[in-house]
Amino acid sequence: MAEAVLKIKNLCVDFLDDHTIVPAVSDLSIDIFPGETVGLVGESGCGKSTTSLAIMRLLDTNNARISKGSIELHGQDLTKLSEKEMQRIRGKEISMIFQEPMTSLNPVYTIGRQLTEGIVLHQGVSQKEAETIAIDMLQKVDIPRPEIMMKSYPFELSGGMRQRVMIAIALSCNPKILIADEPTTALDVTVQAQILDLMNSLRDELQMAVILITHDLGVVAEICKYVYVMYAGQIVETAAIDDLLNDPLHPYTQGLLNSMPDRWQGGDRLYNIPGTVPLPGTEIKGCKFADRCEYCTEKCRQAPPPLVRLDEHRSVRCFRSAGTQ
Amino acid sequence: MRVIIKRIASAIPVLALVSIMVFLMLQLLPGDPATVILGEEATPEAVEAMREHLGLNKPLIVQYFDWITKVLQGNLGESLVDGTSVNQLIMERLPATIELALGSFLVALLIALPCGILSAARPNTFADHLCSFISMIGMSIPHFWLGMMCIIVFAVELGVLPASGYVPFFDDPAENLKSIILPVVATGFRESAILMRMIRSSMLEVLQSDYIRTAKAKGLSEMTVLFGHALKNAMIPVITTSGIMLAGLLGGLVITESIFNIPGYGKLVIDSVFNRDFITVQSAILVSAVFVVFINIAVDLLYAFVDPRIRLGKEGNS
Ligand SMILES: Nc1ncnc2c1ncn2[C@@H]1O[C@H](COP(=O)(O)OP(=O)(O)OP(=O)(O)O)[C@@H](O)[C@H]1O
Ligand SMILES: [Mg+2]
């Protein structure tokens, strides 16, 4: 098997609120291979965006920091790079698409300018050449009449179009890795499907690795090969997508699957997991999911369960499912 | 282009309204222009004759139209005190005030822009606290006190700059610059304080926005992010404040002009008020109003230039 492009090992991210340290992501490890899409799934507030910003080293340095672990891109540890060195990685090696297409483009500049500046910066080409590349890129993301689009301003475009532009910006320098943080959450369903298709085909064409962040297992099922399920800043289960859908091991994953509308098993109401994600900084001695888990035992409350590896692609953080109970 | 014409057209009723208000306001002031000209001891007959001559016995509305017709023809009337043409009075005083206002504005920008941007880019650092401190001083020190301190230090103690007076630019450019440095710096420093706070908070807000994160994610350097992406957005709310500020400076440099003894526009208005020189006051205020209106038009045009949403006529629906 090919080398992993990105190896995240034991990543821990802390927020610093008024001098108290609040762990937001702990011991997160992910390997990503070229040409494949991995999903990072979890409810709102479980630390997905924090993880992606940590990879880009875009966390606000005033109140967040990577306290432990490494993020290796082709063997180079990103956590050790200077800001200058990171600037050569961002947009060129690793690109990112954000959750909010409506506000992620600068309102006072044209699409053309926002698209070409990264190309000029990373590929060292002239403005004219960058424009040719940019128009090409807009064609790739299925934007009609790209020449006109280059002169448009973001407010003239719909959300779906803006997200396509964001994808074009992100992919304009052929990055090795694309981090897509809920790229379709803010879009309506038909547009959502189009964008996912687009990302799928561009991934194959450009042989990128994609990290798809979402809270929607349906989206994951459509385009991901492997899935990492995240809960309260931790990975609680990893699996190939088919295994996960057929045989979810962690009670949280089971809950997520049951709350998908098309897997709804009948009954008066759509299933949802009782309770909410504990806020970062909540003191929890045992399993973080214990309060919401129907299988919770005394043991779960006493010590945190380790992430147990079951086979090459499967691990789970649960005493019961890992068979260590 | 359409925007410009529309803006200028909409300024006309405003100016008409202002002219009516100025005219009526002066009717309310105590005192009789005829007495001003003739002196307190004039006989009632003489006063009556003068009133007739000045047209003061006509109905108000006729008086107003007499005045405004002349104004529209470019004749602002004659001073009641010594009969000099108000046009000439204003032309004599205006250059000094315009120079002072623009100079102070420039100084304010030169202080506020770098400090505001720096403190927003490095919040809660020493640089930020230093800038806050400077702006606090600017806001709290009485303006006349700062002016006098400047005079004491630079004119009296060091003797490098003149303490007061004004030399017109075309008489002697070098002396002209020397004569306006102190007033311009003193006024500009005060004006910079509010502007700096505005720029800082506007910049801070913009720097938190999603598109700045996008810009950073492209791998742009901090300088490009700050000046290429953040600044233009941050300036949008600042433009209004700057416009109001400049208008204020053009109309109200009375204190600066008094301290530094500069024969400017503010002094002209004040002196005329004390002399009951109604015609001069009336016309001078109208000219100020025209300035304010034109600055407002300039502000709107600048908006359109900076913000494509306004330029392309989509202010309401985006
Ligand atoms: N600067 C910060 N300081 C303190 N806590 C923060 C900060 N930023 C985020 N958090 C908290 O960290 C947690 C994880 O946030 P994150 O944005 O990573 O969640 P997410 O999984 O992306 O959620 P969503 O699906 O809503 O995007 C949240 O509970 C959030 O409130
Ligand atoms: Mg998020």
pLDDT digits (tens, 9 = 90+) for B44-92: 888 888 888 877 888 888 888 888 888 888 888 888 778 888 889 888 8
**Residues contacting residue B241 through CB under 8 Å, at least 6 positions apart:** B194, B195, B198
Nearest CA in chain A to B304: A108
Q: Which candidate from B214, B224, B318 shows the least CB-CB separation from A155?
A: B318
Given this model, what pLDDT does residue B316 score? 41
Q: Which residue puts its alpha carbon closest to atom 28 of ligand 1?
A: A45
Provide CATH 1.10.3720.10 ranges for chain B: 94-263
Closest ligand 1 atom to residue A99 Cα is: 27
Burial, A123: exposed, middle or buried (Cβ in 10 Å; 0-12, 13-18, 19+)?
middle
Tell which of A174, A195, A216 closes a domain: A174
Pick the ligand that lies closest to the CA of residue A60.
1
Which residues' Cβ are closer than 6 Å to ligand 1? A 15, 17, 22, 24, 42, 44-50, 60, 63-64, 215, 279-280
Query: How many domains does the structure of chain A reveal?
Result: 2
Given this model, what pLDDT does residue A269 score? 59
Query: For residue A194, what are the CA distances in angstroms to A197, A199, A206?
Result: 5, 9, 18
Given this model, what pLDDT does residue B121 score? 94
In a domain, A18, yes or no: yes
- Strands of A308-311's sheet in order across: A94-97, A177-181, A209-214, A37-41, A226-231, A234-240, A314-316, A308-311
Indicate whether A143 and A180 sit together in one domain. no
User: Tokens 């502007």 sit at which residue?
Assistant: B195
Mutation probe of ligand 1 site: the residue of A13, A49, A213, A236 with most atoms within 8 A of C-beta? A49
Q: A50 C-alpha vs ligand 1 centroid, how far in Å?
A: 6
Q: Which residues of chain A have pLDDT under 70?
A: 1, 262-270, 323-325
Q: Which residue segment(s) compose the domain that A221 sits in?
A: 6-93+175-316
Indicate whether A304 and A196 sit together in one domain. yes
Given this model, what pLDDT does residue A123 score? 94
Indicate whether A299 and A181 sit together in one domain. yes
Tell which of A140, A174, A208 closes a domain: A174
Given this model, what pLDDT does residue B25 score? 82
How many other C-beta atoms lie within 10 A of the C-beta of residue A43?
17
B302 interfacial to chain A (CB closer than 8 Å): no
Residues of B with Cβ-Cβ distance to A114 under 8 angstroms: 214
Domain B94-263 sits in CATH 2.60.40.730: no
Given this model, what pLDDT does residue B174 score? 87
Given this model, what pLDDT does residue A267 score? 56
Q: Which residues of chain B have pLDDT under 70?
A: 1, 252, 313-318
Indicate whether A158 and A83 sit together in one domain. no
In a domain, A219, yes or no: yes
Indicate whether A24 and A88 sit together in one domain. yes
In a domain, A248, yes or no: yes
Closest ligand 1 atom to residue A230 Cα is: 21
> Nearest 5°: CA angle at B116, between B136 and B245?
75
Tell which of A147, A174, A201 closes a domain: A174
Query: For residue A315, what are the CA distances in angstroms to A237, A310, B110?
Result: 6, 5, 60
Given this model, what pLDDT does residue B315 score? 45
Indicate whether A180 and A288 sit together in one domain. yes
pTM of the model: 0.85
- Rounded Cα distance between B155 and B164, Å, is 9
B59 interfacial to chain A (CB closer than 8 Å): no
